[in-house]
Amino acid sequence: MATIVFWEKPGCQGNARQKEIIRASGHELEVRDLLAEPWSEERLALFFGERPVAEWFNPAHPKVKAGEVVPASYGRSEALSLMVAEPLFIVRPLMQVGDERLAGFEVGQVHNWIGLALDSVGERDPRNCPCVTRSGQP
């Protein structure tokens, strides 16, 4: 089983569910605060690889939901700069095992990467945060 460094937004219900699934699958977690991490553009880019820039964004961010920020309109450099300045724009979670990194929680992709006990996933899609906090922060 793997030990996964897992960057989350503390208090996020979606991240809590994702951690439950990973632990139920026999993996260990080293949980870190996504918002307190000192990100650089170079380091953050390693989590996204060749994925389309639009997939890098947190779809629950109020500015994304309102259409003020349109992820598909950003280039790599511009998106990374925005995310370093405001980490709430980053799709969650960010995960790392050794030198391998992954952004977001698409069940099939995570299963192929580290293996999941798929019976622990349940019916609700664990990719997205089901709520916005009282502060209005996704």
Residue 127 lies in a domain: no
Residue 77 lies in a domain: yes
Residue 50 lies in a domain: yes
In this structure, what token pair is assigned to residue 133?
Answer: 């906090």
Q: Is 118 left (phi over 0), alpha (psi -120 to 50) or beta?
A: alpha
Residue 134 lies in a domain: no
Average pLDDT, whole number, for the chain?
Answer: 90
Q: Give the per-residue pLDDT at 123.
A: 64
pTM over 0.85: yes
Q: Are 93 and 8 in contact (CB under 8 A)?
A: yes
The structural domain count of the chain equals: 1
Q: Give the per-residue pLDDT at 128.
A: 55
Q: Are 41 and 53 in contact (CB under 8 A)?
A: no
- Residue in 4, 12, 21, 90 annotated catalytic: 12
Residue 57 lies in a domain: yes
Give the model confidence (pLDDT) of 39-82 as tens digits. 999 999 999 999 999 999 999 999 999 999 999 999 999 999 99
Q: Supply the CATH number for residue 105's domain.
A: 3.40.30.10
The reply to whether 12 belongs to the active site is: yes
* 124 pLDDT above the threshold of 50: yes
Q: Are 54 and 71 in contact (CB under 8 A)?
A: yes
Reduce the DSSP state of residue 74 to 3 states and report it: coil
What residues make up the domain containing 27? 3-120
Distance CA 118, CA 82 (A): 34
Give the model confidence (pLDDT) of 104-114 as tens digits. 999 999 999 99
